């Protein structure tokens, strides 16, 4: 009974943007794009919020990469939906799969001088997490401020000895919304989970995306540019996960650091951390880049509509050339499905890379229940082979890209704390498009004709999963 009540409350916890609001934003952006952008967009640089003139120069610099009209169009649509804070002067690097991510992440932590903040849905007790724990303990001994925040459900199977050993070495560790309501009074919500994956070093370098601190990423995927295939008899679900992360160096890292510290405070975690900050200091010129980033955080406790859902839905509705989406868990509800179909019908190249296998079958079947509607509208669907797809990435018109923790499912939109990094500009968008093309090459195309011939057991599973879509 308690679980059932929790499920119902989770479904109602978050508010999702409706299509009427999106239509209003599109009309406003089309009528007065410059006015909307000027009034609703704030640019934050290394030394804090910028005055209007330098802010306009930042936007002009990104627009100069190419497709200026498309970039300004999407910026105006975002501004018509809500206030937009952009972080300028970043260097953003796309990281494919676990090995590239962990190599970059551990190297950054090794260089840490002042702080290391770690927030992850899963922290397991395999060698990868143990390596991180040893490194955090060493940094703490060097006088570096460190903290590890993990989700209680995501890390439920982890041996508590890992975190006890960290505590004994002076490394603060805290679990988000403990499963036991008596463990930390006032902080219990079985279905309110912390799904973010963030590592921030010195408030200068941050990592975020879909990759947890987990052994399933250690070997890299069996797809993509590696050309690797799983050995005979090897279960891809136990290794070979395909995922994506970004490394951000610059002012946007300060925002991600603030998210970790704010969550720590709200959870009533035992250790006292330095307070969150906004960018307020000069950085060496060589550390500054040209990438402009919007950090969008969401959660059931946030007021108003879910900001990630609103941004994704608005971007699809505003698309003019292409929507290329790679999504691990795809059970997005009617609004996003209808937006994808409408985009395809007006001539936009809409392509989805979705999983052929999953560690959670109900979401896989719920997504497949939408295939016929999508394919009939002209959406092209590709199912990734050989690897478990865990990436949550998105590039629209080649100028608006997203890498983050949020799936397109009801758990992400209504029950989880999530964070996505939206990167503006054609240069980063081109890197995203190349990655998307590699995933398409490692996928099997799903055609309308072949889909209509699928066996009846699959059809029944899809119908059953769709009935409970809002629970996944």
Phi/psi at 37 (nearest 5 deg)? Answer: -60, -40
Neighbours of 353 (CB within 10 A): 27
- How far is the CA of 16 from the CAs of 7, 335, 404, in angstroms? 17, 9, 18
8 Å CB contact between 436 and 382: no
H or E, element range at 316: helix 307-318
8 Å CB contact between 253 and 215: no
**CA 406, CA 209: separation in Å to the nearest integer?**
9
- Residue by residue, DSSP assigns 417-451 as EEEEEEEESHHHHHHHHHHHHHHHHTEEEE-HHHH
Handedness of CA 376, 382, 383, 389 (dihedral sign): negative
H or E, element range at 392: strand 392-396
**CA 388, CA 394: separation in Å to the nearest integer?**
18
Nearest to 273 by CA among 172, 159, 194: 172
H or E, element range at 205: strand 205-209
For residue 213, what are the contacts with CB-CB under 8 A and spacing of at least 6? 118, 120, 122, 123, 124, 128, 129, 132, 150
State the distance between the two ends of the chain, measured CA to CA, in whole angstroms. Answer: 18
**CA 249, CA 53: separation in Å to the nearest integer?**
24
Query: Which residues are marked as active site?
Result: 195, 197, 202, 390, 392, 397
């Amino acid at each position: 009974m308690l679980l059932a009540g929790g499920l119902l409350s989770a479904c109602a916890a978050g508010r999702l943007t409706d299509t009427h609001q999106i239509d209003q934003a599109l009309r406003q952006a089309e009528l007065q794009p410059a006015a909307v952008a000027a009034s609703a967009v704030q640019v934050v640089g290394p030394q804090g919020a910028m005055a209007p003139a330098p802010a306009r120069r930042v936007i002009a610099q990104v627009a100069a990469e190419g497709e200026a009209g498309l970039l300004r169009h999407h910026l105006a649509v975002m501004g018509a939906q809500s206030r937009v804070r952009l972080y300028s002067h970043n260097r953003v690097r796309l990281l494919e799969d676990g090995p590239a991510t962990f190599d970059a992440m551990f190297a950054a932590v090794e260089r840490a001088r002042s702080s290391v903040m770690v927030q992850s849905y899963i922290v397991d007790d395999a060698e990868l997490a143990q390596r991180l724990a040893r490194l955090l303990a060493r940094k703490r001994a060097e006088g570096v401020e460190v903290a590890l925040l993990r989700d209680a459900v995501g890390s439920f199977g982890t041996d508590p000895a890992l975190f006890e050993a960290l505590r004994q070495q002076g490394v603060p560790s805290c679990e988000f919304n403990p499963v036991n309501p008596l463990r930390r009074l006032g902080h219990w919500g079985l279905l309110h989970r912390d799904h973010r994956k963030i590592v921030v070093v010195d408030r200068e370098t941050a990592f975020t995306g879909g990759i947890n601190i987990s052994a399933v990423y250690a070997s890299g995927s069996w797809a993509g540019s590696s050309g690797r295939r799983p050995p005979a008899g090897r279960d891809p679900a136990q290794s070979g996960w395909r995922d994506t992360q970004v490394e951000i160096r610059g002012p946007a890292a300060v925002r991600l650091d603030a998210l970790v510290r704010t969550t720590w405070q709200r959870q009533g975690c035992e250790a006292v951390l330095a307070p969150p900050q906004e960018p307020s200091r000069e950085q060496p010129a060589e550390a500054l880049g040209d990438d402009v980033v919007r950090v969008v955080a969401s959660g059931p406790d946030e007021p108003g509509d879910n900001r990630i859902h609103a941004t994704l839905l608005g971007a699809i509705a505003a698309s003019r050339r292409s929507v290329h989406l790679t999504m691990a868990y795809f059970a997005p509800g009617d609004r996003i499905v209808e937006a994808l179909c409408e985009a395809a019908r007006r001539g936009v190249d809409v392509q989805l890379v979705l999983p052929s296998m999953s560690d959670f079958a109900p979401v896989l079947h719920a997504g497949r229940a939408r295939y016929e509607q999508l394919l009939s509208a002209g959406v092209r669907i590709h199912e990734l082979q050989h690897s478990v797809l865990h990436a949550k990435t998105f590039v629209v018109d080649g100028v608006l890209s997203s890498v983050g923790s949020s799936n397109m499912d009801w758990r992400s939109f209504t029950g989880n704390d999530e964070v996505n990094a939206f990167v503006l500009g054609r240069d980063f968008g081109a890197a995203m498009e190349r990655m998307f093309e590699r995933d398409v090459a490692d996928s099997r195309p799903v055609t309308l004709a072949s889909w209509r011939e699928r066996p009846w057991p699959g059809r029944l599973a899809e119908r059953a999963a769709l009935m409970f879509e809002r629970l996944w």
